Amino acid sequence: MEADINQANEEKYVSAVKYFLDGSTIKNLERIFSRELCMAYNTDGNFGKKGLRNNKNIFRVILAAISDNCPNAEKELRMALQAVKKRHFRVVSSQKKKQ
């Protein structure tokens, strides 16, 4: 997807991401990125994870879409990634308890 985004079609990607986020990045980030992708990435690439910031086009589109609803888009993206990871570990924990 990184290679598909350019200046000519960037606005289309931004509007599509806004549509999928539906005003709440924290609740709806999994509509854009899979849970596995959210587990493998963080914004900066710390702690053995890959960084979304390295994918400049994708990162720019996501921040542009978030910035309409939130003044600090990068913080909102971090919180959304953290919420997806918490959901994942909550599911894993409950599955372990059932066994």
Tell me the per-residue pLDDT of 57-69, one tens digit each, with 9 for 90 and over.
999 999 999 998 8
Mean pLDDT for the stretch of residues 13-40: 94
Tell the burial category of 88 from Cβ atoms under 10 Å away from its Cβ (0-12, 13-18, 19+). Answer: middle
Q: CA-to-CA distance for 62 and 46, rounded, in angstroms?
A: 19
Task: Output 45 or 99, whichever has higher pLDDT.
Answer: 45
**pTM for the full predicted model:** 0.88
| Sign for the pseudo-dihedral over CA of 56, 62, 64, 67 | negative
Query: Of all residues in the chain, what percent carry a pLDDT higher than 70?
Result: 100
Structure token digits, residue 2: 């990184």
Task: For residue 83, give the nearest of 75, 67, 15 by alpha carbon.
Answer: 75
